[in-house]
A and B are shown apart, each in its own frame.
Chain A
């Protein structure tokens, strides 16, 4: 069964460094998403992406964040200058257009020191 994959599974970085989180969505899906979950808190929407552009973003998704689909398979989230409060689990999801259902990857746990 096709699934969403994410790399790396864990990332430790120093405050102020740039990180790129990678996702490979399910191949015939057209809508892609990033969410994050700070430890012990709700899963929060960051951004949705369709047809090579952002379709919606949350207040969290400020100028430090960017997304890109650099080729036909990858979908990336870049955090330009990480802050301590960016430490969280970051989930990528892709959406089946027929059912509207979002399928999630296993997540990348980001720790900013």
Chain B
């Protein structure tokens, strides 16, 4: 079945860039997503990338996709304390119910 893996923790200093990595196994993935979850809160969609793209930039966020290696990354430029949260990558394929398969989540801690 599908599997999505992420490293569990990342700590960065305020103002630095953060890079959160994700690997997935399903080669038929069509959309890949990044969601942010703050403590006690729901899942906020940050950005997504279609599988025929290599890169997508949205303000401070840059998503890179290496489809050959099944590797997805999220770069947050000029990381702020408000970026501290858990970041989930998720993938889906077309057809059927289009369910999302989530990664384990990466806890990002931003230090002053």
Contact = CB atoms under 8 A, between A and B. Distances in A.
B100 A35 contact: yes
B100 A105 contact: no
Given A43-B88, A101-B33, A104-B35, A48 B98 contact: yes
Interface of A: 31, 33, 35, 42-45, 47-48, 50, 55-56, 58, 91, 93, 95, 99-107
B41 interface: yes
Given A104-B42, A107-B42, A31 B97 contact: yes
Contacts of A43: 43, 88, 90, 100, 102
Contacts of A33: 97, 99-100
Contact of A55 (B43, B44, B97): B97
Contacts of A103: 45
B42 A105 contact: yes
